[in-house]
Amino acid sequence: MRFLSLILIIFSLTGSLTADSVFSLDGFPERHYAVDAYSGGAGNASVADVYRLNAGYENPAVLGNIGRVLFSTSLTFGYYRFDDGISTFSEEGSYSPYFSIGVPLNNHKIGFSFSPYLSGNFDSRKSVDFPNESNPEGVLKATVINKLHANIYKASVLYAYDFNSIKIGLAADYYVGNRMQFYRLDFKDASYVDNREELDTDFHGGGFTIGLTKEWEKIAFGFVYDSYAKLSAEQKHITVTHQTTQKINDFELPHGFTFGTTYKITPQLKINTDFSYEMWKDSNVAQDFEDVYSLRGGLAYDPKWGYGYKWYERIPLRIGGYYKNNYFKTDNNKLFEKAFTCGISIPLSTPDKQIHLGFKYAVRNGRDTDSKDTDTLFTMGVTGFDFFKKRLKRTGHRDIPKADL
């Protein structure tokens, strides 16, 4: 019950704010992979990680490894610092990177996952002075407010089949999201009319994912194909004087693939690597989009439950990182992102339950621009089997003998 309470507390604390970025005005700078809190500390490499309880279903085939009901979620929180070349801003934020549940039915496995897919948020407030000779001070003071909140989420219904060393998986994906851009100009002089404008866009559409894993004693391979998805888009334009709603061009998500490997150096030590490629050039949203590649990797010390005589020998540890480019440009500059990650896991009373703690430091910038994002994030997640079941009562009725007086 205490484990269930911890899960509910983490999930209830999640906020709507995901990645803050100075580049959000040009697109969705943050690409989220549907990995669990464990893989988040190992460079987000997960598609072939079949030698553990993997609750991240970026590859739906890993669902085929579960033997009992598996539930997992996490909370990420921290600081987003961004520099636009003139000023530096910082924000605090929190969000839930994923929620997943899997249910085994003999060799058939079914599940559900929900996670952010793309995001980008930006808030700024600046004081500006407009030249104005009629004003005693010679200037007209005002405050400019810019807000952008943009998120696309991915919900997946999952199916996997277990062919012993080979697992195949399929996910029916549904994407839903919103992009709200708000601009406001507030004059300090009440005789001037303030200006306000808002663009509010809703997205929705479907796609699918196919996954495969093949494992041997020391090495495993994983493959994922994500389908092309066309998201219908409807936009509201709101100003001080009017409001209009119109259908706009569809937002197209690219098809892509990921290939991953996991190699066990020793029974307790393994290395994970993933390579992803997304074909954004095929999108009709913009003519200058770039195909996206990402290289993700991590090294993990992952002892079996109960291994070791010392307490520190029983603690799973991991370290990793990733490098990727972005699908859009800023001022004709290509954007790149790199990150360092690490994490530990805390085994609980049974091998089926763990608490995961993670850390990520990421930098996003262009080669010929002064703008830069710096993220410092912490993650706490939980993974568990059958947490809603009562523990079996293993003692029967016993007659207590009466004392002879």
Q: Dig out the tokens for 281 from the structure.
A: 């050039």
Q: In the prediction, which pLDDT does 16 show?
A: 46
Q: In the prediction, which pLDDT does 57 show?
A: 94
Q: In the prediction, which pLDDT does 72 show?
A: 92
105, 109, 114, 115 alpha-carbon torsion, rounded to 10°: 150
Q: In the prediction, which pLDDT does 48 show?
A: 96
Kindly state the average pLDDT of the residues 87-96. 80
% of the chain surpassing 70 pLDDT: 86
List CB contacts of 252: < 8 A, sequence separation 6 or more: 228, 229, 230, 231, 282, 283, 284, 285
Q: In the prediction, which pLDDT does 11 show?
A: 45
Helix (H, G, I), strand (E, B) or coil at 218: coil
Domain ranges of the chain: 1-385
Of the spans 80-89, 144-153, 357-366, 377-386, which averages the highest pLDDT?
357-366
Q: Is the pLDDT of residue 306 over 60?
A: yes
Residue among 30, 38, 287 at smallest CA distance from 151: 30
Kindly state the average pLDDT of the residues 222-240. 92
Q: Which H or E run contains 5?
A: helix 2-12
CA 8 to chain centre: 19
Give the type of residue at 329. K
Q: In the prediction, which pLDDT does 311 show?
A: 74
Give the type of residue at 222. G
β-strands 219-226, 317-330: how paired? unpaired
CA dist 116 and 380 (Å) reads 17
Q: In the prediction, which pLDDT does 112 show?
A: 96
**Predicted confidence band of residue 1 (pLDDT cuts 50, 70, 90):** very low
Q: In the prediction, which pLDDT does 13 show?
A: 45
**Predicted confidence band of residue 3 (pLDDT cuts 50, 70, 90):** very low
Kindly state the average pLDDT of the residues 241-268. 90
Kindly state the average pLDDT of the residues 231-241. 87
pLDDT digits (tens, 9 = 90+) for 100-123: 999 999 899 999 999 999 998 888
Say which range, 295-299, 331-335, 350-354, 376-380, has the weakest mean pLDDT: 350-354
CB atoms within 10 A of CB 52: 20
pLDDT digits (tens, 9 = 90+) for 134-178: 666 667 788 888 888 999 999 999 999 999 899 999 999 999 999
CA dist 377 and 72 (Å) reads 19
β-strands 229-239, 219-226: how paired? unpaired
CA dist 141 and 109 (Å) reads 62
Higher pLDDT, 84 or 398: 84
Q: In the prediction, which pLDDT does 285 show?
A: 67
Kindly state the average pLDDT of the residues 197-204. 91
Q: Is the pLDDT of residue 10 over 60?
A: no
Q: Which H or E run contains 7?
A: helix 2-12
CB atoms within 10 A of CB 368: 10
Phi, psi at residue 63, to the nearest 5°? -60, -25
Helix (H, G, I), strand (E, B) or coil at 354: strand
CA dist 390 and 102 (Å) reads 19
Higher pLDDT, 249 or 389: 249
pLDDT digits (tens, 9 = 90+) for 265-296: 999 999 999 999 999 988 766 668 899 999 99
Beta-sheet strands, E only, within 254-399: 256-264, 269-278, 292-301, 317-330, 333-347, 354-366, 372-385
CA dist 81 and 84 (Å) reads 10
Residue among 94, 133, 102, 93 at smallest CA distance from 14: 94
Q: What is the mean pLDDT of the chain?
A: 85
**Total number of residues shown for the chain:** 405
Q: Which residues pair with 278 in a beta bridge?
A: 256, 292
Q: Is the pLDDT of residue 9 over 50?
A: no
CATH number of 1-385: 2.40.160.60
Cα–Cα distances (Å) from 80 to 95, 142, 235, 378, in that order, read 13, 26, 28, 12
CA dist 37 and 279 (Å) reads 27
pLDDT digits (tens, 9 = 90+) for 356-367: 999 999 999 887
